[in-house]
C-alpha cells in the first residue's frame, strides 16, 4: 500500500510533467517540481517517472545521444525530431497497429510495442539556415 506522501508526490510530479513542454527530460521535470516543492528530491522525481512509465501511465522516449524523455500521451503515436535543435514533437498521423502483427509474422518475435521517430529540420531551424 502506498503512503499518502508518495501519492501526493506522484500527483505533483505527474501534473508538473503535464504542464510542461512536450517531452521533457527527468532533469527538466525535477527543476520545475523543485521550484514549488523544494522538499521533493531529484531521486524521487526520477524514481516516480520511471515507475509511472513502467506502469504505462507515461511513455519513456529513449533517443540516441539524449537523456530519456517523458511523454504523458500514452496512446499510440509517433514523434519527429529536429536534427539541428533536438526539439521533439508528436506527429498526428495514424498509428499503424497492424505493423506489429506483420513484424511478428516475419520475425517470430512477440512484438510488445513499436516506436518510430521521424527526423528532419524544423521550420524555425530552416528559417535560421536560410538566413546564413
For residue range 14-49, list pLDDT tens digits in order. 999 999 988 999 999 999 999 999 999 999 999 999
Same-domain check for residues 89 and 103: yes
Q: Return binding residues.
A: 82, 85, 114, 122, 125
Q: Return binding residues for Zn(2+).
A: 82, 85, 122, 125
Contacts of residue 24, defined as CB under 8 A and 6 or more positions apart, other chains included, come to 17, 32, 69, 70
Q: Return binding residues for Fe cation.
A: 114
Query: Distance between CA 43 and CA 46 in Å, rounded?
Result: 5
Domain boundary among 26, 45, 74: 74
In eight-state DSSP terms, residue 85 is T
Q: How many domains does the chain have?
A: 2
Contacts of residue 53, defined as CB under 8 A and 6 or more positions apart, other chains included, come to 59, 60, 70
Same-domain check for residues 81 and 59: no
Same-domain check for residues 81 and 129: yes
Same-domain check for residues 86 and 61: no
Q: Which pTM does this prediction carry?
A: 0.81
Same-domain check for residues 7 and 64: yes
pLDDT tens readout for residues 52-91: 999 989 999 988 888 999 999 988 899 999 999 999 999 9
Same-domain check for residues 56 and 87: no
Query: Distance between CA 100 and CA 97 in Å, rounded?
Result: 6
Domain of residue 11: give its range.
Answer: 1-74
Amino acid at each position: 500500500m502506498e503512503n499518502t506522501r508518495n501519492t501526493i508526490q506522484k500527483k505533483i510530479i505527474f501534473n508538473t510533467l503535464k504542464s510542461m513542454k512536450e517531452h521533457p527530460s527527468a532533469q527538466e521535470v525535477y527543476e520545475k517540481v523543485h521550484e514549488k516543492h523544494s522538499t521533493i528530491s531529484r531521486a524521487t522525481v526520477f524514481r516516480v517517472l520511471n515507475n509511472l512509465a513502467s506502469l504505462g501511465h507515461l511513455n519513456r522516449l529513449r533517443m540516441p545521444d539524449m537523456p530519456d524523455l517523458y511523454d504523458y500521451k500514452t496512446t499510440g503515436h509517433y514523434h519527429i525530431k529536429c536534427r539541428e535543435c533536438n526539439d521533439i514533437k508528436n506527429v498526428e498521423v495514424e498509428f499503424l497497429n497492424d505493423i506489429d502483427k506483420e513484424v511478428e509474422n516475419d520475425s517470430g518475435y512477440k512484438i510488445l510495442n513499436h516506436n518510430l521517430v521521424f527526423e528532419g529540420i524544423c521550420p524555425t531551424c530552416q528559417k535560421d539556415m536560410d538566413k546564413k
